[in-house]
């Protein structure tokens, strides 16, 4: 028999930021228990609005469960007796009911659980109650006298299987076959749902659009119609659009005007902050300025737009006042006030940070073509000045933007203005990196200083928890270096940053576990940067083993060179020449590994030319000397492709030697010398990469040795 399940939990408003995770959690929970218990279904959908979570499962087939046997796996046969007894108690079985089955060559107890008594209604009731009871919200609450927790007080539960009520009970409410429409636009009376398929149309008739995508498109359609009529364009803000979609069950889209007199002279970013962040409006522009706003509401009584316009005018007037007050003092005045603003409890004030990033910016500028030390120093000195201004205290998201605005107002150099404005970039993966020399230097210095300081202060990352955005910060540093083609020595840069911090932050005693020393912090930060670098390359579809083969060198210092080398090596190894290099290396490396193991010793890469007697080993030695010299020169000149070409030309001499010369000969001197020659060959390959870390295709591997 085919069944349809409809479950709805109606509550007070669910915050939009929690809605996506809630839908994922419901679907994951129910799908898992269905699959685990062999309950078949055709489709499962979860919907969420500001007030309700709805689960709809179509074509549930419980017939297959009848007259079938399920074997349930228990403990290992060698498990403690208490574990076996607990397993039997759980399923109300006796010792004679135990069966033994092999799993991965080990014996486990199983019992047969007869499913003929399986009651789908009881099963659904239990599982839905369990889900409600264990539901994980970012924040939850209790209400009334109950102990149950939910994101907001629950008002009603609906649960039906076809036309039959499943009496799910939670928080003092037992499920029925009724629901309610829109809080303001419907009659407010209970709506009886006779069958799950009737639910969707019934809600829409009572002013509830259940599907989030449909609500969003409903909003966009009205905006598009208005912008087309008025020749305007929507200022894109997907995050806010999604938030508005999650706030309203039946969106009423209203349009208001931005008072041009009140907004005159305000930077666009300030207006957008007021409109988007403070007021939760979408902004419309005519190409030059923000002229209109969009608000989404539950009800429209004719005065709503005027009320919103008045509030917006007041906000704009406040911003005008704050900026006018800020302009009474120059940026140098605000820099002096940074000493009273805390950067971090262990790292001192923002004023101290400014001194560090000024020194670090000048150091980094040495490696940036066309960078002016005077401009870099001034930009770094002023970069944080706006943190002490009234407008940034009111709108923290405008830091950097307002600093650039004030720098322009006080007629600072154009490049300095740009550096102040852009030094926080890139904030996200889509945002462009700074481009001007001063902006690059200050941006990198600011992030490196924060990264070093926060890691030294013991701020840690755990899973998805990254309170200070250390991952984002590091990726920003690396992207800025790579996208501007800069050869900045990252180790030296980190060491310089560490040296600028107060001695009180570090411990001179290298054995102390309470405080790390400078060397330990430098290494921690460097390794953290390398891990983020690997992530960036992985996202570009470069094989991880190839990345590791380039980064294996402890002395790696130039990320741009490392990036270019991984890209070239990745491409080269897909060609026949690359495959020959890899198979040849594996042949030599595998043999040397076996010899070291059997001999119980290692071999030097230095060999005696006077012990070379066969033509093939003499030819290999001569080729090795030439290849080593040419590869070093090619890498020094950043001609990595040429270095690989040298290895490709070197490979036939190696194979000729391996095929023709008896390495394990009677003379111990000749044997050891030939093994040292091969060790020398391996070391030449390692000038390019550690090919031992690269995984070889099976058909190539078969050729080795």
User: What are the pLDDT digits (tens) for 388-421?
Assistant: 999 999 999 999 999 999 999 999 999 999 999 9
**pLDDT of 698 strictly over 50:** no
In the structure, what pLDDT confidence band is assigned to residue 430 with cuts at 50, 70 and 90?
Answer: confident
Mean pLDDT of 122-136: 95
pLDDT, residue 504, reads 65
Mean pLDDT of 679-687: 95
pLDDT of 243-283, one tens digit each? 999 999 999 999 999 999 999 999 999 999 999 999 999 99
pLDDT, residue 392, reads 97
- Tell me which of 688 and 113 has the higher pLDDT: 688
Give the span between the Cα atoms of 465 and 471, in whole angstroms. 10
pLDDT, residue 502, reads 80
Read off φ and ψ for residue 116, nearest 5 degrees.
Answer: -65, -20
pLDDT, residue 200, reads 96
Q: What percent of the chain has pLDDT over 90?
A: 79
3-class DSSP state of 42: coil
pLDDT, residue 338, reads 98
Mean pLDDT of 231-248: 96
Mean pLDDT of 543-565: 87
pLDDT, residue 299, reads 85
Helix spans in 383-434 (H): 390-394, 401-409, 414-422
In the structure, what pLDDT confidence band is assigned to residue 115 with cuts at 50, 70 and 90?
Answer: low
- Tell me which of 505 and 604 has the higher pLDDT: 604
pLDDT, residue 69, reads 53
Give the span between the Cα atoms of 624 and 685, in whole angstroms. 10
**pLDDT of 300 strictly over 90:** no
Collect all residues with Cβ–Cβ distance below 8 Å to 309 and sequence separation of at least 6. Answer: 256, 257, 259
**pLDDT of 64 strictly over 60:** no
Regarding beta strands 52-61 and 43-48, do their DSSP bridges make them parallel or antiparallel, or are they unpaired?
antiparallel
CA dihedral 90, 92, 93, 99 (to 10 degrees): -40
Query: Would you state the structure tokens that stand for residue 120, as one six-digit string?
Result: 């789908």
pTM: 0.82
Q: Please choose, from the candidates 200, 288, 203, the residue with its C-alpha nearest in 3D space to the C-alpha of residue 250.
A: 203
Structure-token match 């007030």, residue found: 51
**pLDDT of 700 strictly over 70:** no
pLDDT, residue 704, reads 40
**pLDDT of 326 strictly over 50:** yes
pLDDT of 150-182, one tens digit each? 999 999 999 999 999 999 999 999 999 999 999
pLDDT, residue 63, reads 57
pLDDT, residue 697, reads 57
pLDDT, residue 90, reads 82
Mean pLDDT of 469-473: 95
In the structure, what pLDDT confidence band is assigned to residue 705 with cuts at 50, 70 and 90?
Answer: very low
pLDDT, residue 302, reads 74
- From residue 490, alpha-carbon distances to 34, 267, 373, 561, 621 in Å are 52, 37, 19, 12, 37
pLDDT, residue 415, reads 98
CATH topology of domain 573-701: Isoleucyl-tRNA Synthetase; Domain 1 (1.10.730)
Mean pLDDT of 645-667: 93
Per-residue HEC secondary structure of 562-600 comes to HHHHHHHHHHHCCCHHHHHHHHHHHHHHHHHHHHHHHHC
Cis peptide leading into residue 426 (ω within 30°): yes
pLDDT, residue 554, reads 55
Query: Would you state the structure tokens that stand for residue 543, as one six-digit string?
Result: 């094989």
pLDDT, residue 509, reads 53
CATH topology of domain 343-539: Hypothetical protein af1432 (1.10.3210)
pLDDT, residue 702, reads 35
In the structure, what pLDDT confidence band is assigned to residue 515 with cuts at 50, 70 and 90?
Answer: low
**pLDDT of 449 strictly over 80:** yes
- Tell me which of 104 and 537 has the higher pLDDT: 537
In the structure, what pLDDT confidence band is assigned to residue 146 with cuts at 50, 70 and 90?
Answer: confident
Domain boundaries, the chain: 2-64+119-205, 69-114, 217-230+244-326, 343-539, 573-701
In the structure, what pLDDT confidence band is assigned to residue 703 with cuts at 50, 70 and 90?
Answer: very low
- Give, in degrees to the nearest 5, the angle at Cα 400 between 394 and 401: 80
Q: Based on the number of CB atoms within 10 Å of its own CB, is 92 exposed (0-12), middle (13-18) or buried (19 or more)?
A: exposed
Mean pLDDT of the chain: 92
- Tell me which of 572 and 62 has the higher pLDDT: 572
**pLDDT of 222 strictly over 50:** yes
**pLDDT of 364 strictly over 80:** yes
């Amino acid at each position: 028999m085919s069944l349809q399940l409809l479950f709805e939990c109606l509550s007070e408003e669910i915050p939009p930021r929690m809605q996506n995770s809630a839908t994922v959690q419901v679907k994951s929970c129910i799908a898992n228990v269905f699959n685990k218990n062999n309950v078949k279904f055709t489709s499962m959908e979860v919907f969420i609005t500001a007030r309700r979570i709805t689960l709809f499962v179509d074509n549930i087939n419980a017939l297959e469960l009848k007259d079938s046997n399920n074997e349930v796996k228990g403990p290992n046969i060698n498990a403690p007796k208490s574990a076996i007894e607990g397993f039997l108690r759980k399923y109300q079985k006796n010792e004679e009911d135990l069966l033994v089955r092999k799993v991965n060559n080990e014996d486990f107890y199983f019992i047969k659980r007869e499913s003929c008594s399986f009651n789908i209604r009881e099963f659904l009731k239990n599982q839905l109650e369990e889900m409600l009871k264990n539901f994980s919200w970012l924040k939850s609450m209790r209400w009334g006298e109950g102990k149950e927790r939910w994101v907001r007080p629950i008002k009603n539960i609906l649960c039906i299987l076809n036309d039959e009520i499943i009496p799910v009970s939670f928080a003092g409410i037992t499920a029925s076959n009724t629901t309610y429409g829109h809080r303001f636009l419907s009659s407010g009376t209970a709506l009886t749902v006779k069958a799950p398929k009737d639910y969707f149309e019934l809600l829409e008739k009572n002013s509830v659009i259940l599907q989030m995508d449909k609500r969003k498109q409903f909003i966009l359609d009205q905006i598009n119609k208005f912008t087309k009529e008025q020749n305007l364009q929507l200022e894109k803000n997907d995050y806010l659009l999604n938030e508005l979609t999650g706030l309203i069950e039946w969106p009423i889209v209203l349009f208001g005007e931005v008072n041009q007199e009140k907004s005159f002279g305000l930077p666009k970013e300030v207006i957008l902050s007021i409109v988007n962040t403070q007021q939760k409006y979408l902004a419309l522009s005519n190409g030059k300025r923000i002229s209109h706003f969009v608000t989404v509401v539950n009800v429209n009584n004719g005065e709503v737009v005027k009320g919103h316009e008045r509030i917006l005018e007041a906000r704009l007037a406040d911003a005008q006042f704050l900026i006018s007050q800020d302009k009474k003092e120059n940026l140098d005045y605000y820099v002096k006030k940074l000493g009273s603003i805390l950067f971090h409890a262990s790292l001192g004030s923002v004023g101290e940070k400014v001194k560090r990033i000024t020194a670090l910016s000048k150091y980094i500028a040495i490696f940036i073509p066309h960078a002016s030390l005077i401009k870099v120093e001034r930009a770094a000195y002023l970069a944080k000045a706006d943190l002490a201004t009234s407008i940034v205290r009111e709108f923290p998201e405008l830091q950097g933007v307002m600093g650039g605005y004030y720098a322009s107002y006080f007629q600072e150099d154009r490049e300095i203005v740009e550096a102040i404005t852009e030094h926080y970039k890139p904030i996200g993966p889509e945002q462009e990196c700074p481009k001007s020399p001063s902006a690059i230097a200050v941006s990198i210095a600011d992030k490196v200083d924060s990264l070093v300081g926060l890691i030294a202060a013991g701020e840690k990352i755990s899973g998805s928890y990254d309170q200070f955005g250390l991952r984002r910060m590091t990726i920003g540093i690396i992207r800025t270096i790579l996208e501007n083609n800069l050869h900045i020595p990252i180790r030296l840069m980190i060491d310089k940053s560490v040296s600028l911090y107060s001695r009180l932050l570090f411990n001179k005693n290298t054995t102390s576990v309470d405080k790390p020393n400078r060397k330990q912090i430098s290494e921690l930060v460097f390794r953290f940067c390398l891990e983020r670098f690997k992530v960036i390359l992985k996202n570009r579809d470069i094989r991880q083993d190839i990345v590791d083969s380039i980064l294996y060198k402890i002395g790696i210092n130039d990320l741009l060179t490392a990036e270019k080398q991984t890209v070239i090596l990745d491409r080269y190894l897909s060609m026949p020449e690359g495959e020959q290099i890899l198979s040849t290396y594996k042949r030599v490396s595998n043999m040397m590994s076996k010899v070291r193991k059997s001999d119980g010793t290692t071999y030097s890469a230095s060999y005696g030319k006077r012990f070379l007697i066969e033509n093939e080993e003499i030819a290999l030695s001569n080729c090795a000397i030439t290849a080593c010299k040419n590869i070093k020169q090619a890498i020094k000149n950043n001609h990595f492709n040429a270095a690989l070409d040298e290895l490709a030309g070197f490979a036939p001499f190696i194979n000729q030697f391996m095929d023709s010369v008896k390495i394990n000969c009677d003379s111990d001197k000749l044997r050891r010398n030939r093994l040292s020659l091969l060790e020398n060959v391996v070391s030449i390959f390692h000038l390019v990469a550690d090919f031992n870390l690269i995984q070889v295709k099976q058909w190539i591997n078969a050729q080795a040795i």
